[in-house]
Copies of this chain bind each other. A is one copy, B any other.
Amino acid sequence: MSETIVTAAVLVIGDEILSGRTQDTNTNAIARFLGALGIDLREVRVVGDVQDEIAAALNALRARYTYVFTTGGIGPTHDDITADAVAKAFDVGIDYHPDAMALLAVRYKPGEFTEARKRMARIPFTATLVRNPVSTAPGFQIGNVFVMAGVPMIMRAMLEDIAPRLTRGQVVHAATISTRMAEGRIAAGLAKVQAGHASVAIGSYPFYREDGFGTQLVVRGRDSAAVEEAAEAVEAMVRAEGGIPERIGNQS
């Protein structure tokens, strides 16, 4: 079985994330979307509304990963500079895209298709549009880069239009085992299980809740039989250490 490894990065654009005003949730939504397609999200960057910063981050990421997904900065206001930054990164021109203009001309009443709204039809040369069924103004794809809105509802709708364009990888399977034991009590046993199951990655995530503490152990891998075998080894190890393993899910 040959294995295609498809990788991705996310570039979140926006002062509002860096100031702490807005909690980014788009990255998590994209991560789950990519996971379902078997695409490995390898890196995320967040930069502010600064053209050179956006272009530099984009060029670093697009050279390194199969795909890059950007969010934010494609609206009608003066602080929406993503399209220009992307054109700069790709060293291409940018102008009003006829298809985008046509879509927006239908959406707005005569007299309401203002110059500001026309800005949303400015698309870098060679890009193709990404459909926005929520508020019409399109995203776009240029090379291996997908440029999406920052509003979560719109971003998620755009992902649906992007999905068929992506090369899929082999999906990663995951098994999660929860136990009320402290991480430090099972760390040695866990390291042994990891050493004996090299085709999977085992993560250990302690939790502290009002009703007590514990650890979640997550086994991830592309071979579902190997994941299950390692998960059972983790459960046996937890029992051997005196704990009670609870399988809480077989997703990522």
Residues on A lying within 8 angstroms of B by beta carbon are 12, 15-25, 27-32, 34-35, 40-49, 53, 75-80, 108, 112, 114-117, 119-120, 134-135, 151, 153-154, 172, 174, 183-185, 187-188, 190-191, 194, 201-208, 218, 220, 252
Docked-complex contact B42 and A43, CB < 8 angstroms:
no
Known: A16-B218, A20-B252, A114-B185. A204 touches B77 (CB 8 A): yes
Q: Which residue of B lies closest to A205 (CB)?
A: B16
Known: A44-B45, A114-B187, A187-B114. A21 touches B218 (CB 8 A): yes
Docked-complex contact A203 and B15, CB < 8 angstroms:
yes
Q: Secondary structure at chain A's binding surface: helix, strand, loop or mixed? A: mixed
> Whole-angstrom distance between the alpha carbons of A208 and B156 in the complex?
13
Sort A-B residue pairs by CB-CB distance and give the 6 closest, nearest first.
Answer: A116-B187, A20-B31, A44-B46, A20-B32, A77-B204, A117-B184
Q: Note all chain B residues with C-beta closer than 8 A to A46.
A: 27, 43-45
